[in-house]
Copies of this chain bind each other. A is one copy, B any other.
Amino acid sequence: MIDNVPGYFAAGHFFITFAALFIYVCNMELVLLSGGSGKRLWPLSNNARSKQFLPLLEKNDGGMESMLQRVVRQAGEAGLSENITIATNAAQMDVIINQLGDSVSVVTEPERRDTFPAIALAASYLSLKKACPDDEIVVIMPCDPFTEAGYFETIRRMAHVAEQDAAELVLMGITPTYPSEKFGYVVPRYETGGTEMEYRMVQRFTEKPTVDVARELLKQGAFWNGGVFAFRLGYMMDIVRRYMKSDSFEDTRARYGEFPKISFDYEVAEKAGSVAVVPFDGQWKDLGTWNALTGELHHNVLGNAILGPHCNNTHVINELQYPIFVDGVSDVVVAACPDGILVCAKDDSENIKKYVQDLGHRPMYEERRWGTYRVLDDTVYADGRHSLTKSITLKPGKNISYQIHHFRSEVWTFVQGEGLLVLDGEVRRVSAGETVIVPVGHFHAIKAISELTFIEVQTGHPLIEEDIERYDWQWPE
């Protein structure tokens, strides 16, 4: 029997931990805000591919993941993956589905407004579509902090505090590491707080102070506002109903323009009757600049590139087929993809946005719900004729919509896999080695059976991106 004692203690310890977890695993809804666009990580980020979708972070198994995939994985590892909703805009819908599959719900705003309308729409989805009860705890968080397991433990604690009804709104306070001018600050009242100092009540907010003021705030024990909020769904829906009384999510979404363009901080956090802050002092970074992002890469080279012997702290990320050789430059980032090629001192990389704004007129690489494409060539000839050549890969079982173009013809040469082609209503099997000509004005669609790649040559006079009409098509089983 004595032999069993350690096992007994271990089992007992497990039971206690499990019981503690059980208290924390409330019926929580986690909403990830996925917005942003722009070119601070140009050329890899563009209007269709924000920084959170770049597959540059290495997992423990050596595979690569994006910031969004990392956050969703971490949430899952913390036991929070049951009820994840991503609030985003229509342009990001495809890439989110491509990266996360059907494991999450996605709510898209019909137009870009601000964080209050976006969160109002997500709350309406949970309440009106998903029929979550008013006392459900909702946690809102950004989709791309570079953080650690403790962050998600803090989210659990926030949900716990919200469940205790300690405050109308509970937010995460990041322990500041320096008096930054870039963040909003949360000043707690120190005479208050829950058991074991689990939270503090908030006295006031201060948005982006000067360095001197920030230094004062740090002395007062202020936190950075991490943009993570927990509340009961009914609390938020009461605010939503002040702007819109609606019985269905579809109706709310159709009337999205009625919500005021205002941030969640101003509309909700600063007006709340009571706000609690739960501190987090672990790793928390925004990998929004090349300097910050390359600091977290495990390797100096990603993709087809060689660093010569005279480089120090130089990173190369190459998504092109062309090999890159770099030598004799230190503290530099080289990033190449079909949108462009960046060679920049890391110290100067925060300011590239203004210079590259007008470089390149169209995305040259996109992730879509059905797969990905790369632009291989985009040329306008002397006679005004335009040709656009792409390499397009569809995931097995995925299809592009049944469509027609009025000004361009397309030639598809299949180079990998098998698929089902529809041309003017006729369905047939196609496979690598075949070529299909889609003349102007003919209905067409393609569905992958196995992973399917084809080279598409568009020609037109000129080519118009919007020259596409989509129709319904019932694929055979």
Which A residues form the contact surface with B (CB < 8 A)?
A: 42-43, 306, 308, 310, 318, 320-329, 332, 334, 336, 338-349, 351-352, 355-356, 359-360, 364, 374, 376-379, 381-383, 385, 387, 389, 391, 409, 411, 413, 415-417, 432-433, 435, 437, 451, 453, 455, 457, 459, 461
A359 partner residues in chain B, CB cutoff 8 A: 306, 323, 325
How many Å lie between the Cα of A404 and that of B129 in the bound state?
62
Partner of A332 from B306, B329, B416, B435 at Cβ < 8 Å:
B329
- Given contacts A325-B340, A356-B325, A376-B389, is CB(A382)–CB(B308) below 8 Å? no
Q: Say whether B340 contacts A343, CB under 8 Å.
A: no
Q: Which chain B residue shows the least CB distance to A335?
A: B325
Q: Say whether A308 contacts B355, CB under 8 Å.
A: yes
How many Å lie between the Cα of A415 and that of B457 in the bound state?
9
Q: Say whether A343 contacts B343, CB under 8 Å.
A: yes
A415 partner residues in chain B, CB cutoff 8 A: 379, 381, 385, 387, 457, 459
Chain B nearest CB, measured from A363 CB (Å): 12
Q: Say whether A433 contacts B459, CB under 8 Å.
A: yes
Q: Considering residues A308, A336, A342, A347, which has the most beta carbons from chain B within 10 angstroms of its beta carbon?
A: A308
Smallest CB-CB A-B distances: 7 pairs: A328-B345, A328-B348, A387-B415, A376-B376, A381-B416, A323-B359, A413-B457
Q: A310-B345, A381-B416, A455-B457 are in contact. List 7 more A-B contacts (CB 8 A).
A: A321-B379, A323-B359, A324-B343, A329-B345, A381-B453, A385-B432, A435-B457
Task: List 25 interface pairs A-B (beta carbons < 8 Å), by A numbering.
Answer: A43-B325, A306-B356, A306-B359, A310-B345, A310-B348, A321-B377, A322-B336, A323-B341, A323-B359, A325-B355, A325-B359, A326-B344, A327-B345, A327-B349, A327-B352, A334-B343, A377-B455, A379-B453, A382-B451, A387-B413, A432-B459, A435-B435, A435-B437, A435-B457, A457-B457
Partner of A338 from B322, B342, B343, B382 at Cβ < 8 Å:
B322
A308 partner residues in chain B, CB cutoff 8 A: 344, 348, 351-352, 355
Q: Say whether A325 contacts B352, CB under 8 Å.
A: yes
A432 partner residues in chain B, CB cutoff 8 A: 381, 383, 385, 459
Q: Which chain B residue shows the least CB distance to A344?
A: B327
Q: Say whether B329 contacts A343, CB under 8 Å.
A: yes
Q: Which chain B residue shows the least CB distance to A339?
A: B322
How many Å lie between the Cα of A377 and that of B417 in the bound state?
17
Q: Say whether B328 contacts A341, CB under 8 Å.
A: no
Chain B nearest CB, measured from A425 CB (Å): 22
How many Å lie between the Cα of A385 and that of B454 in the bound state?
12
